[in-house]
């Protein structure tokens, strides 16, 4: 047999075989096999080897878990999408609905944080992969930032994107989302302009959160100024006993 060839289920497979003709591909890598059809082959020992287009790279982004952070890291995802194929681990698939159309593949992170795990269950059908195949040759990127970098570059976004090709984290909002949100607001008597705030919280699962919260008095003062101009809607998931509102919350018209 040719070098690297092997036999499985009575069939002979050889290096260079197009994945579209390899019927034995495990279900766990089927989405990747389909995406990389024509650029993957069966290697020695039966491993599936993925070869990206010449000059392009395959990147696995280990994303952050905070909702706001996941919005900001869209800039990083855009940067790597411009260079090749991207797989993103995130508990918030909805924040990347448009980038999926550009080829982004979402990987389920199995977050240990309550709210994030709850959303993973709600959006479970949007994950293309439950885990990244161990034999996928990729570069791994971990998004994030540290306090010193934020001070150096002037903002969180600048700290995250200072060495990238874009800082564009804009997120298009589908019309249906707007209609759904309007229906919820009308149900609670909110019409016209309004502002949404996140109350300061304490989370037993994330003890360092209090250190990241803004100064309570300043936060409350800012929210009070906004409330003089428009209704204030306070939104937080407090359904888990391990998550509770901080002692000083801004006054709001709806909770």
Asked if residues 34 and 116 have their Cβ atoms less than 8 Å apart, the reply is no
Asked if residues 219 and 198 have their Cβ atoms less than 8 Å apart, the reply is no
- How many Cβ atoms sit within 10 Å of the Cβ of residue 167? 17
Give the integer Cα–Cα distance in Å for 197 and 245. 13
Q: How far apart are the first and last CA of the chain?
A: 70
Give, for all 255 residues of the chain, the pLDDT tens digit. 344 444 444 444 444 444 334 444 343 344 444 444 444 444 334 444 444 444 556 788 999 998 999 999 999 999 999 888 889 999 999 999 999 888 899 999 999 888 899 999 999 998 887 766 666 667 888 888 888 888 999 988 899 888 888 899 999 999 999 999 889 888 888 888 889 888 887 777 776 666 777 888 888 899 899 999 988 888 888 777 777 776 656 666 655
Asked if residues 231 and 254 have their Cβ atoms less than 8 Å apart, the reply is yes
Q: Where does 160-208 show beta strands of DSSP type E? A: 195-197, 201-203
Predicted TM-score (pTM) of the model is: 0.71
Give the integer Cα–Cα distance in Å for 184 and 205. 30
Backbone angles phi, psi at 219, to 5 degrees: -65, -45
Give the integer Cα–Cα distance in Å for 151 and 149. 5
Give the integer Cα–Cα distance in Å for 13 and 245. 59
| Tokens, residue 253 | 């018209």
């Amino acid at each position: 047999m040719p070098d690297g060839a092997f036999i499985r289920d009575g069939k002979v497979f050889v290096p260079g075989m197009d994945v579209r003709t390899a019927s034995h591909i495990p279900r766990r890598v089927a989405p990747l096999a389909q995406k990389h059809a024509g650029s993957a082959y069966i290697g020695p020992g039966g491993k599936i080897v993925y070869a990206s287009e010449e000059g392009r790279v395959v990147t696995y982004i280990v994303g952050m878990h905070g909702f706001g952070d996941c919005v900001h890291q869209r800039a990083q995802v855009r940067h790597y999408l411009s260079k090749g194929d991207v797989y993103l681990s995130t508990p918030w698939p909805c924040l990347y609905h448009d980038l999926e159309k550009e080829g982004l593949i979402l990987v389920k992170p199995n977050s240990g944080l309550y709210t994030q795990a709850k959303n993973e269950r709600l959006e479970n059908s949007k994950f293309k992969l439950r885990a990244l195949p161990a034999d996928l040759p990729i570069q791994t990127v971990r998004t994030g930032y540290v306090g010193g970098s934020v001070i150096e570059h002037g903002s969180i976004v600048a700290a995250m994107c200072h060495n990238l090709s874009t800082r564009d984290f804009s997120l298009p909002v589908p019309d249906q989302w707007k209609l759904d949100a309007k229906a919820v607001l009308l149900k609670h008597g909110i019409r016209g302009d309004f502002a949404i705030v996140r109350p300061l919280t304490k989370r037993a699962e994330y003890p360092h959160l209090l250190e990241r919260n803004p100064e309570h008095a300043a936060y409350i003062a800012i929210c009070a100024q906004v409330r003089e101009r428009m209704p204030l809607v306070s939104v937080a998931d407090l359904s888990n006993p391990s998550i509770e509102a901080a002692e000083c919350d801004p006054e709001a018209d709806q909770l």
